Structure 1
Amino acid sequence: MSGRRVWRARALGLLWLAAGPVAASGVDGLWQQFDDDGRLNSLVRIETVGGQVQATIVKGYPVPGRAADADVRCGRCPGELRDRPLIGLRFLWGLKGSGPAWDDGQILDPEDGAIYRAKATLSDDGSRLTVRGYLGVSLFGRSQVWRRHTGPATENL
């Protein structure tokens, strides 16, 4: 190999190594989900499985006057999801896409058991994820902004 080819191969290798962690992290990881009042509601784990993004509740945060997390179940959820504990519940699934945008998914609202179409968009810096649930067309829905969890990754999750 000539000197120029070796240099190019090394440069491409370094670019690949530098981009690797960013590409691998993408949307996967722990995210803080907030309720409509801006209160931290839950910690969710997002994973890409079979090319599709899904999210599972891994921790809930106490609300005065409500049952403890381990006791809360999805009483209004449909079918096989009915009466499952919220902790460990996969409530977002089927998102397809790459880079900063995913769509064609579904999201479950454990409060009322309704399932909505879903899409999500990752911020440029990777710290915020805008998740939108909607009926029919995206215009008829609502969005939440989740923040990437920056605390310890070893919280017994």
Structure 2
Amino acid sequence: MMQFSRRAGGFAGRALREATVASMVLISSTAAFAQSDSPVGTWQTIDDHTHQPKALVQITQDENGVLSGKVIKSLNPNEPPGRRCTECTDARKDQLILGMTIIDDMKKDGDVWDGGQILDPENGKLYKCKMHTEDGGQKLVVRGYIGVSLLGRSQTWIRQN
């Protein structure tokens, strides 16, 4: 009888451990899903003209929930290293594009992030910016515009893991 109890206890213990692991996986998956709707993370941008991967942009969130994004890697093999924003007209004039903050002051407004701006290092222009995630957080639609969002263009960035 004692041996049966140990076996039952062993089986119950194993079942409890498996249930605990399953619960942890479920909680982890739920947390990952909840965060997948956030733009926080690393995104692959696509060149508007060539439709090829262009750069990696890392979006971070500060303690107030405000998002910013900086270029962390060029994916264009033809781009010379040490490329600078020669067209920029603000404090970023002639600064290295690699490491440059190109998105700032984005705040959550319902299902979108809005109120900030985005810099296009190609032409040095600043645009108002609005963004939202799609496909379970795997795509980020980034819209740069002047005045109202109808007057602008959108890019779809791909989340990198």
TM-score past 0.5 threshold: yes
User: Which of the pair is proportionally richer in helix?
Assistant: 2
Match of 1:38 among 30, 48, 51: 51
Q: For residues 88-112 of structure 1, what are the alpha-carbon distances to aligned partners after superposition, in whole Å with 9 as ceiling and x for unaligned?
A: 0000111111664111110001111
Q: What is the deviation of 1:84?
A: 1.0
In 2, distance between residues paired with 1:48 and 1:128?
18
CA deviations on 1:71-93 (whole Å, 9 max, x unpaired) are: 10111112211111111000011
Displacement of 1:129 in angstroms is: 0.3
Q: Which runs of 5 or more residues in structure 1 are unaligned?
A: 1-13, 151-157
- CA offsets, 1:5-54, max 9 Å, x none? xxxxxxxxx88766433334522111100011311000110111121111
Structure 1 segments, 4+ long, off by >4 Å, are 14-18
Q: Could you tell me how far apart the structure 2 residues matched to 1:126 and 1:100 are? A: 12
Q: Residues 100 and 124 of structure 1 are in contact (CA less than 8 Å); yes or no, is this contact kept in structure 2?
A: no
Secondary structure in 2 matching 1:22: helix
Task: Read off the aligned partner of 1:86 and give its amino acid letter.
Answer: I
Counterpart of 1:106 in structure 2: which amino acid? Q
Aligned residue in 2 for 1:4: none
User: How much is the aligned-residue C-alpha RMSD, in angstroms?
Assistant: 2.2
Letter in 2 for 1:29: G
- State the partner residue of 1:109: 120
TM-score for the superposition, normalised by structure 2:
0.75
- Where does residue 5 of structure 1 map in the other structure? none
| Number of corresponding residues | 135
State the 1:145 CA deviation. 0.2
Structure 2: how far apart are the matches of 1:73 and 1:17? 41
1:61 paired with 2:75, answer yes
Paired residues of 2:103 and 2:118 also in contact (CA < 8 A) = yes
In the TM superposition, what are the counterparts of 1:17-96 in structure 2 within 5 Å?
19-25=30-36, 26-36=38-48, 37-49=50-62, 50-64=64-78, 66-68=79-81, 71-96=82-107
Q: Extract unaligned runs of 5+ from structure 2.
A: 1-23
